[in-house]
């Protein structure tokens, strides 16, 4: 008797689906992990709006106490509860990240659209300027802005948002110019559609998915930049709690009280990994080629 023959894909489309299946599963798993990690931080930040184990200014705890029933994560060198600072730090990280991404997305999209729709010499000038700005690290540009504005929560949002807007502007310009070369845009122009209509009906809907993924990635950059600014003393001043400042204050006692450094470090890693996994998962759905394989 002949051995049974395993069914093989009969068409190229079926072969493509089989090859793309592992990628889809990885994308779904990445998206789920990203949602879980990000949700934990978001829920913690929301809870901190209404309840904290101890007020941030409470120094009634003993110095450098270990984790226990009174203080779940212990206390810092001033006797402040680490859990309360960690929860409030989640709120600061999300506030700065969301504010910076909103500013970068708005300003970057407007500049990118203006460059793509402008005359060639204007487009070339804007493009060269964006390349120069992008050559500088986000943290360095943010430090320059904060040095001028002064250390505050608003200055951190403004500094990080302005520094990231150049990346969004360049991406918007590239995507917009690509859409402007499509035949449906040419047909819209021929039919008499005005520029605002072309932007609103054709350009923005086509570039929005890719921009959303890029902004999600920039959110992680903003969180790291905020933590770095706070670590250097250029972030939100006390009594605001910040994960970066918690790291800076705990560096001298990391051997005797390691939780003070481990807790904010793990929180930063969890949030940055969460938003990056979320962005990577969203890319699976925003990429037309991958979407088509499903």
Q: pLDDT (tens digit, 9 = 90+) per residue, 239-270?
A: 778 898 888 888 888 888 888 889 999 999 99
Tell me: pLDDT of 64 over 60: yes
- Cα separation, 35 vs 41, whole angstroms: 10
- Cα separation, 89 vs 99, whole angstroms: 15
User: b/e per residue, 44-68, with b = 16+ CB within 10 A?
Assistant: bbeebeeebbbebeeeebeebbeee
**Is 268 within the bounds of a domain?**
yes
Q: Quote the pLDDT of residue 286.
A: 60
Q: Quote the pLDDT of residue 294.
A: 43
**Is 257 within the bounds of a domain?**
yes
**Is 64 within the bounds of a domain?**
no
> What is the rounded average pLDDT of the residues 21-44?
79
Higher-confidence residue of 231 and 193: namely: 231
- In this prediction, residue 111 has a pLDDT band, given cuts at 50, 70 and 90, of very high
**Is 95 within the bounds of a domain?**
yes
Report the domain count for the chain.
Answer: 1
Q: Quote the pLDDT of residue 15.
A: 47
- In this prediction, residue 26 has a pLDDT band, given cuts at 50, 70 and 90, of low
Averaged pLDDT score across all residues of the chain: 81
Q: For residue range 156-166, what is the model confidence (pLDDT) as tens digits?
A: 888 889 889 99
Q: For residue range 175-221, what is the model confidence (pLDDT) as tens digits?
A: 988 888 888 877 877 777 787 778 888 888 888 888 888 898 899 99
Q: How many Cα neighbours within 13 Å face the side chain of 117?
A: 15
Q: Quote the pLDDT of residue 12.
A: 45
Q: Which helix H or strand E contains 216, and what residues bound it? A: helix 204-231
**Is 143 within the bounds of a domain?**
yes
> What is the rounded average pLDDT of the residues 75-90?
88
Q: Quote the pLDDT of residue 149.
A: 78
Higher-confidence residue of 123 and 1: namely: 123
Tell me: pLDDT of 7 over 60: no
Beta partners for residue 75, in sequence order: 81
> What is the rounded average pLDDT of the residues 9-26?
49
Tell me: pLDDT of 62 over 70: yes
CB 173 within 8 A of CB 123: yes
> What is the rounded average pLDDT of the residues 106-123?
88
**Non-local CB neighbours of 80 within 8 Å, separated by 6+ positions:** 54, 56, 57, 58, 59, 61
The top-scoring range by mean pLDDT among 141-145, 205-209, 218-222, 234-238 is 218-222
What domain range includes position 161? 22-53+73-293
**Residue entry with tokens 């005797």:** 256
CB 101 within 8 A of CB 109: no
CATH number at residue 129: 1.10.3720.10
**Is 247 within the bounds of a domain?**
yes
User: b/e per residue, 176-207, with b = 16+ CB within 10 A?
Assistant: beebbeeeebeebeeeeeeeeebbeebbbebb
Q: Quote the pLDDT of residue 18.
A: 47
The top-scoring range by mean pLDDT among 75-84, 147-156, 263-272 is 263-272
**Is 102 within the bounds of a domain?**
yes
**Is 212 within the bounds of a domain?**
yes
């Amino acid at each position: 008797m002949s051995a049974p023959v395993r069914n093989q894909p009969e068409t190229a489309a079926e072969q493509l689906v089989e090859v793309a299946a592992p990628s889809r599963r990885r994308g779904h798993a990445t998206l789920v992990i990203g949602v879980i990690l990000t949700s934990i931080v978001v829920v913690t930040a929301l809870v901190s709006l209404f309840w904290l184990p101890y007020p941030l200014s409470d120094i009634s705890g003993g110095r450098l106490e270990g984790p226990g029933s009174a203080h779940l994560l212990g206390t810092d060198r001033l006797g402040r509860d680490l859990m309360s600072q960690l929860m409030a730090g989640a709120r600061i990280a999300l506030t700065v990240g969301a504010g910076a991404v909103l500013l970068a997305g708005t300003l970057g999209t407007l500049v990118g659209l203006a460059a793509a729709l402008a005359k060639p010499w204007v487009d070339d000038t804007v493009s060269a300027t964006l390349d120069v700005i992008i050559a500088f690290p986000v943290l360095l540009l943010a430090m320059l802005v904060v040095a001028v504005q002064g250390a505050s929560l608003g200055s951190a949002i403004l500094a990080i948002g302005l520094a990231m807007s150049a990346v969004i502007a360049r991406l918007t310009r590239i995507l917009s110019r690509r859409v402007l070369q499509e035949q449906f845009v040419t047909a819209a122009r021929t039919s008499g559609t005005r520029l605002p209509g072309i932007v609103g009906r054709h350009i923005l809907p086509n570039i929005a998915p890719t921009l959303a993924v890029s902004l999600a990635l920039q959110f992680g950059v903003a969180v790291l930049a905020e933590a770095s600014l706070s670590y250097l003393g250029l972030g939100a001043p006390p009594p605001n709690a910040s994960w970066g400042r918690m790291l800076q204050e705990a560096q001298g006692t990391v051997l005797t009280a390691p939780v003070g450094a481990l807790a904010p470090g793990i929180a930063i890693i969890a949030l940055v990994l969460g938003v990056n996994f979320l962005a990577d998962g969203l890319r699976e759905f925003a990429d037309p080629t991958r979407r088509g394989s499903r």
